[in-house]
Each structure stands twice: as C-alpha cells, then as structure tokens.
Structure 1
Amino acid sequence: MTASDGGGEARRDDVTPSRALAFARYAEALDLSHAADIARTRALADLGHAALHDARRDGVRGMASDMELRSVAAEAAGMARLTDRRLQGEIDHAMTVIDDYPAVFEAWVQRRIERGHVDVVVRVGAGVPAEARGSFAEAAIAVCERDVPSRVRGALDALAARLHPQTFTERHKTAAAERCVRVFHGTDGMSNLVANLPTVIAAGMLDRLTQMGQSVKDARAESAGAGADAHAEDAAGPGEPADTRTMDQLRADILGDLVLGGAPVVDPTYGTDRAGGLGAIRARVQVAVTAETLMGRDENPAEAVGAGLVDAETVRQLAGQVSEWDRLFIDPVTRTPVEIDTYRPTASMKKLLMARDQHCRFPGCRRAAIRCELDHTIDYALGGHTHIFNLAHLCQRHHSMKQFTKWEVRQVGGGVLEWTSPLGRVYREDVPMPAVCFTIDTADPPPDAAPGGPPPDEPPRF
C-alpha cells in the first residue's frame, strides 16, 4: 500500500481550510517524528558502540563488557526518565538495526519503509541464519514497501521459514510439544486465560466462537421481534432485558460455557457436540497450500489466511477431511490468482475474490475476507457490473465509510485499488502478497507441461 498527495488540483472543493491546515500540520509532524526516530536510533547505537569500545580498550570481555552496556544504559535512562532495562533493550535493538540490517535502515532513512516495518523485520529475522541475513533483508524490504507494518508479518515469516536450516514442520513439532494453558490473575476480580496452541486450532476456535456469538445475537433479535418465545433456547423471556453483549463479551461467555459444560471429544461417555443449534456450528479456516506440499514433495509451510503459517503435516491432515477443492491458477509474476476451475460462475467469483483479497481492502485493515462483505466498487444501482474487477472485500466499518463519507475508491486493474481521501490524498492498495509463494521450476519442467501454459500441478485452496 502506497500513498501520495493528490496536490492542489486533486483537493476537493468541499474540504474546509481548517481541515487542510490541520493535515498540513500533521504532515509536518510526521516529518519531524521520522527525523527524530532516525536520530534517536543512531544515537542509541552510538551509545552501545562506545560502551563496547571502552570495554575492549580496558581489556574486559563477557560479563564485564555487559556491565559497560548496563552503565551506559543507566545514565541514558536518567536523561530520558525511563528504566535502564528498557534503555538497554533499545540500545541492543538500535545496534542490531544499524549493524545487522544496514539496507533496512537505509530504506527507513529514505522513507521507503516505516519504523514499524523495521521492528517486524528485526523480530522475524532473529531466526534467520547470519549467512542468509543479507538476502532476507533485501527481500523483506520489497515486502514492506507493498503494505503497512501490521500486514507484512505473514509474508516475512514465510520468507524466514524458507531460509531456516530446519524445516518448518520440524520446528512446529518442537513448538507444539510446549503447548499449554496458563492463567494470569489481574485486578477487579478478573484474570487472563492464555492458551499456546497450534495456529490452525487457535484460528478455528476464534472462528467458531464468533459464529456462535452471532447465532446468539440473531436468536435474541428474532425472539424480540416475535414477542419473545419462552420456549426458544437462549431467547429472552417476557420482561427480560435485551441481550446487549458485545461480540467480545459473547465470545468470552461462550468459551466459558463450552469449557465448563463440555467434555473432550475423545470421551466415549459423552461424545462430540450435540446435533443442531450451536453444536452444529463448525469452524472455518481458509488455508492456501501448494500441490507439492500436499503430495509430500516438500515440507514448506502453508498459510492460514489472516492467522499465520501452518506446518505441512497438519495441512495434509486437513486436506484429507475436505470434499471440495478449488484449483487455483497463479500468475507467475504477480503471484495473484487469475482463474479458478469451478463450474458455477457466482461461486467461483466469490472464491477467487476471497483468495485474491485475503482481507479487507481498505489500506491497513487486517480483517480476514471471510469476515468481510463483497462490495461493488461502482455501485450496482449506478450501473456497476458484477465482475471480479468491480468487486472487493470490505469490512463493515470501511464498507460503511465508503458509502456514507467522502472517501472514494476505484479499481485501476489487476485487483489494485486506489482510495482517495476527502483531502485528495491517494492511497494505492495493491493485491495482498501471499505468505505462501508458488514457484515454477523452469530448470526441470514436467514432460506434459504445455509451452507457456500453467504447470499441471496447481496449488489448491480449501
């Protein structure tokens, strides 16, 4: 996602001078903040380098060298009125950015990427071998230039996984062995229940809780409109207040109900969820995987869209449980879906758009496509066609904003969206880069591959 200033010509006539002045001041503040962040990072790294230089000068090593860093951090913390532990962490981070990722730092200086991008690159890059760090950094910059910091983690994780000496499946097995549930007690009689689970399980749990919560809300609304059926499950009785719980509150309450009132699915005395009602709801997890991984030719991770990476073994198990497959042809240059081989056009369009968009297409929004609405970029009532290049996923918040505010959007081809703010600034929302990258091995093509055509084994999505 890139942004540009539409200039004086593009500025809307209905933008008030006070709003234009406010945005001009905000742009100036962003420039000052960027310059300050760069200067602070350089200064923190200089503090760390000075401490290490003094330690080498005095011939100290190991813990004594760390003492120099602690001393410098303590004095800097006094100047900044922060804790010395925090300052030492910032010093370590600054030295890592400047010493280990010089290309990333230079891209930040040039404002090709933002501070948030740098933090994500360093965090993900911690697992990349030193000899591959340069290649990782260059590829990471290209990823970060395309999108906001909150939406690049998946692609960077996949990039780091490919460069790691161990396969993702091997590392997942080690991590899964440490799955656990913990309680952290808080204040006002509240506590946090934290579960460390495989990604596909966690994503499925959240999806199912959301569906159940929406079912409860719908049942309450229907019963209120019908005069409150006293026999309807979960319906408010006569005189009872309407259910005003938020979705977060509903998910929390339903989780408590399921854990306290349910039983493990392996318990032969209880079985699985009861049939019908909320028990009939099953989780939906959108996963993208290459055919090579499904056939066991490699152990590359797949992508749980909107969540993270999933190990190959888990994906192959999931694949054996589905009855419907969508074969997806991927453009080898842009990595975007261009065709899907299902029969009914309406269904195929929906599935292709879900695969293409992955999430809400408003700049910076991470709401998964399965939780969004398909919007006609040019309203159907105004002559807009129901075509893949006039449709895009928008979450309810940004769909409403498009309808009821002066934000405008147009599709410029290839699924790329251009948003124009009321002030005339243009934000380019490129097609999301999938965390799972599909490649074609041109060195040894399959014997039945047609010249210039797609390879016979295409990545399915389920």
Structure 2
Amino acid sequence: MTELLDATDSQTAMIADLVGSVRAVEETIARLSAVRDGMLAVAARVAVDIARQAAHPDHGDMALRAVAAEIGAAVRASDRTIERRMDEASWAVERFAEVWAAQGAGRISAAHVRVIVDAGAHLDDPADRARYAARAVEAAVVESPNRLRRVARRIAEQYQARTVTERHRDARELRRVWVKDLDDGMAELGMLGPAVLVHGIHDRLTRMARTITVENGRARKAAKGTAPDIDSPTDTDRDSDTRTTDQLRADLLADIALTGAPTGHDTEAGLLGEIRARVEVTVPVFTLMDDDNGGHNGGSASGAPPAELDGRSPIDTRTARLLAGDATGWERVLTHPITGALLAVDRYRPSDQLTRHLRARDQRCRFPGCNIAARRCDIEHTHAASDGGETCATNLAHLCRRHHTLKHHSLWRVQHRRPREDDVGLHLVGGGADQTIRTTGDLVWTSPTGTTYIDRPPEQNTVRFTDSR
C-alpha cells in the first residue's frame, strides 16, 4: 500500500497534529472519567454513612437507592444504571486506588480500568492486590484493553489465594439471562453461565444446524430428476431452505426455548411445561388493515406507525398480524384523533376497566428514567388508600417494585399534577356506573434535596390527523 506516500508535507503534518490532538482528548476523557468515578464513590460513601449513623436495618441499601435516584433524575439516566456505576466506582476507587490514580493521570482509559478491576476482583489481600495492580497498570500503558484482558488474568492468577474450583462455585451464583433491544424489530438474548454448559449449548445447536443442512442437501440430490410429490411439501421446503448455520442456530434455540419442556426442573404436576411465552404488542388498526408494502416511516402504506413490542421496539407488520390472529383477546385503546391522547380502554371480555386504562396510559414504571414494563409493575396509590386516597386514575400509577419501595422508605415524594382547563376529558364506563376521569397523567416527583422532576406518560402508538390546510 502506497497511499500515504503520495501525501504532501502539509498533509502529513496535519495527520500528525490530528493524532496528537486525539491522544490529548483521550487523556482528558480518562481524567474526567476518573473525576466522575471519584464523585460517585463519594456519593455512595455519604449514603452509607447516613445509614450507619441512623442504624438503618438495611445497612444503607435504601439510602443508596435514594442517592442514585437523585443523580439519575438530574442526569436523565436510570437510577439502576447510576447505582451500578456507584458500585463500580467505589470498588475501583477503594480497592484499586493505584489503577484509579493512573486513570486520573491520563495514563490509561476507563476501558483499561474495567479490565484490570474485573480480572483482580477476587484478590482479597490488600498487599497482593496492590502488587497485581502495579503490574497490570504497567501492561495497560502499552496494550489495548482487548490484549490487556488475557495479560491481566494471567497476572491475577499468580496472586490468587483460592483455587479455580472455589472461585467458580461463587461465580456460578452470578448466572443470569438478559435481553437487549436492537433496531428493526430485533432483540439480543444473552446468557451468563458455566463455560461448559454454554459451550455445550452452542455445540449442540451447531450440530443440529449442520444436520439440517446435510439432510437438506441429500433431499435436493434425491429430488433431482424425479417428479415432486404433491402430497409431501418436505422436498420443496428443503430445496428452498437457504438458511445459514447462524440462522439455523437462532431458529433452533427459539424453537427449543419456546416449545420445549424443562424436564430437569419441572414440578410433579408439570406446571413449568404448561407456561407459555407472553408478550404485549400495540398495533394501530390501520397498520393491520394496510397491505404488506409498508410506508415511508416503516409502518404501513397509509403512514400509520409500526406495531410496538411492550412499548420498547417496533416489530414488523407480518409478525403483528400473526400475533393478532392467534391472540385470545385484545384490549382496544381509543385515542384522540388529533392529539393522540389516551381516551379510553375496553375489550369484549369482562375485566377491570381502570386497570387496563392505567396500563395503557403508563406503559412503564412512572419513576423518572425507569423503563420497566407496566405489566411487571405494581399499581401504586399516590396518596395512600389507608389515608383516604381514592382508587382512581388521578391517584394511581405504575411503579416497579424497586421504586414502589423507594417511595415508601425514602424522602422521595410524588403527586399527580392537577388537570388544567384544556385537558382532555376521559370517559370510562365500568361496573355498571359511569366514571369521568380528568387527568394529565403527569407525576411530579420531589427528591430528598427538594428538586422536582416531572414524569409524563409515554406518547401513545397511534395515528394522528392534522389539518392539511
């Protein structure tokens, strides 16, 4: 390659200046990240000190939540994320001070710090931990975080007081499964578990996928020169099956997870095997009515928005129609044709009208920054029922268990914002009596420091009409 040989002296000098500037910026970012981690660690320490001086029975857990919620609301981030960052910052600042200092000096990045701290997390002896940190920082100065990971693990292993078997026994307690929403109606399923099991799962899926590929190839060869059997579409299906090994692995995993019975964990009555996957989908009626060509906004040809899964990510119209056709019942959400505001919720099957209205209105936990789906939350009285609070839309909202507890056991306070004269009136009919509900749905949260934050219900996934004149 000779591209850069054609560069002029001024262009070469410019590239050198840019390289130096980027390096200086990265060092500044590292320093600022270290400063932020220090602040988060101090915030965590203050919360623990407050709990200790008051002898809180939870040993500071609720105080940490309250402080994390305050910071999260101020920076528009989930308080769960902030609390996790506070834990990580405290761990790095208090247990790996040398590493934190190197970051503060701009010698290593935040990514280097994470690698070093993760690899040495099980080093309990302060002297061993300090020796490990010094050697790891020396390696980090000249290596990328990717390369550093293997080096740091090897260094940490030299100072381990416990065997791999003992550490693995503790690590197994952290096994979990999580979901990460992606674009274009896709999501990512992750699993943390024992390496033997995870690799075994991957190997079995791979061998299943390869078996399907081989069988499809044999079927195609056998079908050549013979008339197709119209009573058996198997050959035709196999002949058109062009899925890759990755696609087959994904399809097989979904098939096994959604339809297989957990024989190793099921009860005597087979209760787990009877559980079926459940999702909630919002589909504008015009999206269901349109053809399959789709519109410019990814929804339908008429411009209706696409269907949404649990208020998190859009899904394709074909999948939405399949779900609609198989569903035993659908909730109908009526919205204002101009503003899109929620008007009412009903369905043909008898159920709690107010509960459906609240779920459709809130869609998620109503604490600032929280995105836990409403179906996984508690319906909480803003003004306690025991103190005379009414069970109505103007006094109810969805809160996840975490923020439900935070509301009752910290100085965070919440109230519904009073409706204005121009607010839309909501007319609900249920239980043989009419109930008119007038509310903005906005919640006003007041933090322990007196700062107020307004949480508004998410916009409805609906069609809005505008005056074309």
TM category (shorter chain) comes to: 0.3 to 0.5
Q: Which has the higher contact order (CA 8 A, sep 6+)?
A: 1
Higher Cα Rg, which structure: 2
Please report the TM-score for the alignment, with normalisation by the length of structure 1: 0.43
